[in-house]
Structure 1
Amino acid sequence: MFEKTINQTCDMLNVHNDLTKFGHLIIKGVSIDTRKIEKGNLFVPFKGENVDGHQFVRQAIEKGAAAALWDKHVPNPPEDIPVLVVDDPLLALQSLANQYRHQLDLKVVGITGSNGKTTTKDMVANLLATKYKVHKTQGNYNNHIGLPLTILALPQDAEVAVLEMGMSGFGEIELLSEISQPDAAIITNIGESHLQDLGSREGITKAKLEIVQGLKEDGLFAYYGDEHLLEEQVKELSLKRVKTFGRSETNTIYPLGIEMNNAGSYFETSLDKGVTFFLPVLGQHNIHNALAAILIAKEFGVSVEEMKEGLESLKLTQMRMEMTEGQKGEKIINDAYNASPTSMKAAIQLVSELEGFTAKMLVLGDMLELGDNEEEFHLEIGRMIDPDQIQHVYTFGKLAEFIAKGALERFSPENVHSFQDKKELSAELENQTKDGDLILFKASRGMALEEIIEALAKG
């Protein structure tokens, strides 16, 4: 992790006060939360709408922090404890991360996309870890604060950092790319998330492509080549090295001979014909994510055998196509971390294709941040569900009522169930499910469908 004396840290920042008497103290790591302060940390206070972190600076020092930043616009910085007065603590944090990134002998892979970026991050990290010391974004640390903290937490012997980049508006991914200066960058796909903020899929494409702003001049850019919006906008960029992945044979890499079962997928690739990879993750869309990871692994000199090992040992971040078992023996697919029309369609298609179950059920919740056409997006999801493949549709939430409405165009009323109360939905599922059933849970993060999954598991 970041480890410097206060003097060295001051040399990296524009510090406005004299810290000579504290200059020898060593900073180890960075924290923005006094509840998680570790000995030697640099505490970074932020001014929020309701709380000003500067009021906790002394408490942070008392808990073991070696020093703290201090916004020059906040009056009366204490002189008896080591505070570094800077123009803006957030900008200072981001600057430290950028400088620390360049002080390490480190390669960076940046990943963004409307869907699949966390899964792809896990895959890339797992493949590269067969050859290198790899560290990756943890949890949701993928924004203008989380990414700098991730970089500053990197061990000094780290060889590769795999960094997820999220956004809600224009300019955010450009900032993250400039901070991290990736050697390789991936866009997994373009969906409908953030239409509310960005206005159109063209706008989402433009925002995601900001990832190339900090890409090294000779860095590799890999993107989902079956998305025409990406293809069109990439042509307008002056990029030296571009590769694509996807189902179409026009891509740099595409899958061959796919065989899927309830445990995962077997496939070959156009670049490694005759070599069978096993991916212990459900879904055709995850094969596309694996293709992106394979492109990056090849870029970093990982052998085919190492890639096979990396995919076979893959464990994804929780609530992403996670198969668990309920109290009665029913199989549960927990894909409830997030949802957009693209990812929900992919999950429903997956369940439709799986065989060997007595009954297959969908539990679908609201998809958020879809803008003015949100009701139509939900209706479209309901209309695409095949009653020959899915026996029951359960929805939760106000917007998800439109999924139920769309499903009723193809389903009998007794097979479509709409709920606004989570306890009532849990009770209904507990009564109706049995051994041999398969249940998919899918919704935006704010719907917290994992609470229902926990109820089923407990019985």
Structure 2
Amino acid sequence: MIKRTLGQLATMIKVVNDVTKFQDIEIAGVSFDTRLINPGTLFVPLKGDANDGHKYVDTAFEKGAAAVLWQKDVPNPPEHAPVLIVEDTLSALQDLAHSYRKQTSAKVIAITGSNGKTTTKDIVASVFSENYKVHKTDGNFNNHIGLPLTILAMEETTEIAILEMGMSGKGEISLLTRIAQPDAAIITNIGEAHLQDLGSRDAIANAKLEIIEGLPKNGLLIYPGNEPLLVKKISNLKQFNTCTFGETSENDIYAVDITIGEDGSSFVVPGLSDEPFFLSIAGKHNIMNALAAILAAKEFLISPSSIQAGLKSVKLSNMRMEWHDGIKGTRILNDAYNASPTAMRAVISMVENMLEDRAKIVVLGDMLELGDKEVEFHEQIGEGLDPSKIKYVFTYGSLAKNIASGARLHFPEERIFEFEDKEKLINVLKEKIEGNELILFKASRGVKLEEVVNTMVIKNEPKNIY
């Protein structure tokens, strides 16, 4: 984590008061949450629409904060206390992270995309950890507050920082990449998430491509070569080195001899190694994420054997491809952290095509932020379900009922159940389970489908590796 004196901080961000008498005080780490204050922390009070962190400055000092930032337009800053007055505390937090990033020797890999950002981050981190000291985004700290905090939590001896960049609208990736100044950037894909805010996939592609604004000349941009929206836009970016991954041989890297099971996926990368790689996460879509990680690893001279070791030991963030042992001998796949049509189709296809003696049940919830076509997108998910591979379809939510409508085109009515009450869903699901089924849970985070998952599992600890 960042460790600096207040005098040094005053050279890293614009401070409008005189901090001379406090200049030798040292801070260690930064937080905007008083619950996370440790002795020596710099507390950053943020002003929001509903709350103002300045109200908690006294609490921060009581818990051991070494110093605080204070926004200039907020009256009555503490007297005779180590306070750094700034024009805007959020901007100061972002400027501090940018300055700290430039003071370290870490190489930064930035990751964005409509789906798979967090999984790709976890894969890249696992692979790079075989050769380097790695720091990565924790959880979903991938926005205008979380990314600066991630950078400031990085040890100064970090060699590789892997930073996830999320967005909900235009301009957000631009801000994040300018703070982080990445050496390499990965775009995982262009999906339908954020259509509600951006209006079209083309606009989403433009928003994701903002990531190049922080890349240096000759920086590396890794992207899916089978995505026409990106291929067209990136073809004229001659100032960057570009590499593509995908399903076909036209890409710089692609996979063949793919085998997918519950315990993971194996595949061969032509031209890299004759030996198959094993990724400890199931699903063809995750092989695509692994290919992006392999391209980044090649750029940093990581050997095929180290790549293999890293892929075998990937640990995913919570509620992403979590395997649980469930009631009545079932296996439960909780992938309910987020959902979009692309991501939902991918995980359903994976489950449908798993070769095992288990009947399969899908529990699918609302996909949010899809804009005007949200009903159509849900219906298409239902239409795409294979009745020869899926025993029962359960839906939860006012939008997900359209998945049920789509499924009715080729599923018998007695195999489809739609709910807007979780207790009723749980009761019927438990009634229909005969034993040994594989049950997939997938929905947007706001649906909180894990509340249903928790009633079905018999072990507390999730498993990413079966």
What interval of TM-score do these two structures reach, taking the shorter chain for normalisation?
A: over 0.9
Q: Following the alignment from structure 1 to structure 2, what is the Cα–Cα distance between the partners of residues 261 and 69? A: 51
Name the residue aligned to 2:15.
15
Name the residue aligned to 1:109.
109
Amino acid aligned to 1:331? R
Q: Following the alignment from structure 1 to structure 2, what is the Cα–Cα distance between the partners of residues 440 and 10? A: 52
Amino acid aligned to 1:251? N
Contact 2:358 2:436 in 1 (8 A): yes
- Over residues 320-361 of structure 1, what are the superposed CA-to-partner deviations in whole Å (9 max), with x where a residue is unaligned? 122211021101111111000001011111111012234111
Name the residue aligned to 1:184.
184
Q: Following the alignment from structure 1 to structure 2, what is the Cα–Cα distance between the partners of residues 356 and 14? A: 61
Q: Following the alignment from structure 1 to structure 2, what is the Cα–Cα distance between the partners of residues 53 and 128? A: 37
Shift of 1:121: 0.2
Shift of 1:238: 3.7
Matched, 1:213 2:216: no
How many pairs are equivalent? 459
Name the residue aligned to 1:202.
202
Name the residue aligned to 1:158.
158
Amino acid aligned to 1:79? E
- Over residues 248-296 of structure 1, what are the superposed CA-to-partner deviations in whole Å (9 max), with x where a residue is unaligned? 1110000011122222111111231412101121110000000000001
Name the residue aligned to 1:91.
91
Q: Following the alignment from structure 2 to structure 1, what is the Cα–Cα distance between the partners of residues 240 and 142? A: 26
Name the residue aligned to 1:456.
456
Q: Following the alignment from structure 2 to structure 1, what is the Cα–Cα distance between the partners of residues 273 and 128? A: 21
**Secondary structure of the corresponding residue to residue 343 of structure 1:** helix
Distance 1:62 1:409, change over 3 A: same
Q: Following the alignment from structure 1 to structure 2, what is the Cα–Cα distance between the partners of residues 59 and 419? A: 45
Amino acid aligned to 2:148? P
Shift of 1:435: 2.7
Amino acid aligned to 1:44? V
Q: Following the alignment from structure 1 to structure 2, what is the Cα–Cα distance between the partners of residues 449 and 188? A: 25
**Secondary structure of the corresponding residue to residue 328 of structure 1:** helix
Amino acid aligned to 1:97? A
Q: Following the alignment from structure 1 to structure 2, what is the Cα–Cα distance between the partners of residues 234 and 113? A: 15
Contact 1:329 1:434 in 2 (8 A): no
Contact 2:174 2:213 in 1 (8 A): yes
- Over residues 68-93 of structure 1, what are the superposed CA-to-partner deviations in whole Å (9 max), with x where a residue is unaligned? 11111112222211111111111111
Contact 2:280 2:311 in 1 (8 A): yes
**Secondary structure of the corresponding residue to residue 457 of structure 1:** coil
**Secondary structure of the corresponding residue to residue 68 of structure 1:** strand
TM-score by length of 1: 0.98
Shift of 1:15: 1.0
Contact 1:247 1:254 in 2 (8 A): yes
Shift of 1:434: 3.2
Name the residue aligned to 1:137.
137
Stretches of structure 1 lacking an aligned partner (at least 5 in a row): none
Shift of 1:20: 1.7
**Secondary structure of the corresponding residue to residue 74 of structure 2:** coil
Matched, 1:326 2:326: yes
- 1:390-405 mapped onto 2 (5 Å cutoff): 390-405=390-405
Amino acid aligned to 1:327? I
**Secondary structure of the corresponding residue to residue 95 of structure 1:** helix
Q: Following the alignment from structure 1 to structure 2, what is the Cα–Cα distance between the partners of residues 437 and 77? A: 61
Q: Following the alignment from structure 1 to structure 2, what is the Cα–Cα distance between the partners of residues 200 and 58? A: 47
- 1:376-391 mapped onto 2 (5 Å cutoff): 376-391=376-391
**Secondary structure of the corresponding residue to residue 456 of structure 1:** coil
Contact 1:357 1:438 in 2 (8 A): no
Matched, 1:40 2:59: no
Contact 2:265 2:278 in 1 (8 A): yes
Q: Following the alignment from structure 1 to structure 2, what is the Cα–Cα distance between the partners of residues 56 and 427? A: 44
**Secondary structure of the corresponding residue to residue 185 of structure 2:** strand
- Over residues 164-188 of structure 1, what are the superposed CA-to-partner deviations in whole Å (9 max), with x where a residue is unaligned? 0000011100111010010110000
Q: Following the alignment from structure 2 to structure 1, what is the Cα–Cα distance between the partners of residues 369 and 77? A: 41
Contact 1:220 1:242 in 2 (8 A): yes
Q: Following the alignment from structure 1 to structure 2, what is the Cα–Cα distance between the partners of residues 5 and 342? A: 48
Name the residue aligned to 2:53.
53
After TM superposition, what 4+ stretches of structure 1 lie above 4 angstroms from structure 2? none
Q: Following the alignment from structure 1 to structure 2, what is the Cα–Cα distance between the partners of residues 116 and 5? A: 39
Q: Following the alignment from structure 2 to structure 1, what is the Cα–Cα distance between the partners of residues 168 and 320? A: 21
**Secondary structure of the corresponding residue to residue 275 of structure 1:** coil
Matched, 1:433 2:433: yes
- 1:211-290 mapped onto 2 (5 Å cutoff): 211-290=211-290
Q: Following the alignment from structure 1 to structure 2, what is the Cα–Cα distance between the partners of residues 427 and 142? A: 37
Q: Following the alignment from structure 2 to structure 1, what is the Cα–Cα distance between the partners of residues 5 and 177? A: 27
**Secondary structure of the corresponding residue to residue 212 of structure 2:** helix
Q: Following the alignment from structure 2 to structure 1, what is the Cα–Cα distance between the partners of residues 29 and 20? A: 21
Q: Following the alignment from structure 1 to structure 2, what is the Cα–Cα distance between the partners of residues 225 and 192? A: 18
- Over residues 217-236 of structure 1, what are the superposed CA-to-partner deviations in whole Å (9 max), with x where a residue is unaligned? 12110001111011111124
Q: Following the alignment from structure 1 to structure 2, what is the Cα–Cα distance between the partners of residues 458 and 283? A: 24
Q: Following the alignment from structure 1 to structure 2, what is the Cα–Cα distance between the partners of residues 378 and 24? A: 59
Q: Following the alignment from structure 1 to structure 2, what is the Cα–Cα distance between the partners of residues 356 and 50? A: 51
- 1:299-314 mapped onto 2 (5 Å cutoff): 299-314=299-314
**Secondary structure of the corresponding residue to residue 257 of structure 1:** strand
**Secondary structure of the corresponding residue to residue 311 of structure 1:** helix
Name the residue aligned to 2:406.
406
Contact 2:325 2:458 in 1 (8 A): no
Stretches of structure 2 lacking an aligned partner (at least 5 in a row): 460-466
Q: Following the alignment from structure 2 to structure 1, what is the Cα–Cα distance between the partners of residues 28 and 62? A: 16
Amino acid aligned to 2:213? Q
- Over residues 188-214 of structure 1, what are the superposed CA-to-partner deviations in whole Å (9 max), with x where a residue is unaligned? 000000000001000000000001100
Q: Following the alignment from structure 2 to structure 1, what is the Cα–Cα distance between the partners of residues 271 and 425? A: 47
**Secondary structure of the corresponding residue to residue 46 of structure 1:** coil
TM-score by length of 2: 0.97
Contact 2:332 2:457 in 1 (8 A): no
Q: Following the alignment from structure 1 to structure 2, what is the Cα–Cα distance between the partners of residues 51 and 315? A: 36
Name the residue aligned to 2:341.
341
Shift of 1:458: 4.5
**Secondary structure of the corresponding residue to residue 73 of structure 2:** coil
**Secondary structure of the corresponding residue to residue 139 of structure 1:** coil
Q: How high is the sequence identity, in percent, across the aligned residues?
A: 54
Name the residue aligned to 1:422.
422
